[in-house]
Structure 1
């Protein structure tokens, strides 16, 4: 039986499964178009949290570790023999916690992890966005740039999505980082050169989370560079999944 935590795009013959962990307020719809662009060798499975998409009638979760435990169980039951994690912003923290749980429970681990658009979890921004009055909350969402203006201006639609958005930001605000042993999977970091929320100094801590740390890959764009410069992001991601890396382009700058 398919888990409600996973939305998979079946791709017979694919050798690798990519689990995508969405950002705060995100859902599978933002990542499903990646399936075709990742090629025939990669099957996409997007993490589906309660309170949005097909699970919009379920109450959203506000506890990171509760979500991570259930996602780890779903991925373990999914039975992929070769897989990778890609998490953007909140999704990067959630993916790290899932990998830690898999390690502690001696479950199969991803071959590769990509933490995208996210400070090292030991240095997260503690701004209590979830407690802001609605007008101020909408202004902050507008500043972050991940929510289309026509959605922000649609009162009825925002009333539907606000509970999940607030829950996600509460999940980040209440998250307590605990130092742990370096994980076995290779770990790479993606970041936007114009992302005002994530600086180079905010990323250095990621190196201690993996015994096989790779590189920090810089892309043109702000916090949502993964959509703004999707071609470059997917080219680099595909190269990592295949065990190769494409040559840097003007929109993809890679540094150690």
Structure 2
């Protein structure tokens, strides 16, 4: 059996790339998530963009590999894989914990003079906002309750005890990565950044999502959708239209008006 390349190990492709100069969109899953979570998005974008999805270690076909529970370490490993993929406009899209990882990948790439075409950060507060979150320290029942509350995973998964034993280590490890992540101040990005959030997300206020504007000198957009932490499921078409319409020549700065602070519920990743 041939050895897998780093690209094959880290990235999943669900469809062939479209012809022409279509953007290359690299997607980063949420805490406890796997590449398969982005399959519907990849299918919807199949004719408009090349979609590659990061597969973190410790889950699905990488379940025997050690988890990486540090966002900075994870980002450096992924950067090594995506850095050579800039023959097409390179777009990064991350949801929840994945937004933090995508931001750090964009930061490392820029430090090496390899700017991305666009960064999309979804369901995650700007990195300069840190909170004392301890979900990763809860017992198994507590972690499961938090994931159920956010509705990020089909609740039927937790009716299967064997499956629970398989997925809990990855969920806990990812929560540890997300909750212990701290932004390291440095030069802002220069690429366009679009922040997406749900107006009822218990993890992120609209203001905290808007504050991603501070992390770039490039154009910035804030898109607020009705819904909670996993608003993507209800607004997938709008999100796909955003992702497929971006290129280095189509950069427009729009900032949605930001209301006052909204009530905050328990946190999620």
Q: Is the shorter-chain TM-score for this pair beyond 0.5, marking a shared fold?
A: yes
Match of 1:64 in 2: 71
User: When the two structures are aligned, how many residues end up with a matched partner?
Assistant: 247
Indicate conservation of the 8 Å contact 1:119/1:202, yes or no.
yes
**Partner SS state of residue 51, structure 1:** coil
Q: Structure 1-normalised TM-score?
A: 0.89
How far did residue 39 of structure 1 move? 4.5
C-alpha distance in 1 between matches for 2:222 and 2:41: 22
How far did residue 12 of structure 1 move? 4.2
C-alpha distance in 1 between matches for 2:224 and 2:208: 13
Structure 1: which 5+ residue stretches go unaligned? 246-253
- For 1:39-188, what aligned pairs fall within 5 Å after superposition? 39-106=46-113, 108-188=114-194
Richer in strand (by share): 1
C-alpha distance in 2 between matches for 1:163 and 1:63: 14
C-alpha RMSD of matched pairs (Å): 1.9
**Partner SS state of residue 163, structure 1:** helix
Indicate conservation of the 8 Å contact 1:122/1:177, yes or no.
yes
How far did residue 77 of structure 1 move? 3.0
Match of 2:10 in 1: 5
Match of 1:192 in 2: 198
Deviations 1:133-191 (CA, angstroms, capped at 9, x unpaired): 11111111111211211012221101000111011010012212112211111001111
Deviations 1:187-244 (CA, angstroms, capped at 9, x unpaired): 0111112212211221232111111132110112110011122122222333345838
Could you list the structure 1 runs, at least 4 aligned residues long, displaced by more than 4 angstroms after superposition: none
**Partner SS state of residue 87, structure 1:** strand
Match of 2:45 in 1: 38
How far did residue 79 of structure 1 move? 4.7
**Partner SS state of residue 121, structure 2:** strand
From the superposition, tell whether residues 76 and 244 of structure 1 become closer, same or farther in structure 2 (CA, over 3 Å): closer
C-alpha distance in 2 between matches for 1:3 and 1:37: 22
Structure 2: which 5+ residue stretches go unaligned? 258-269
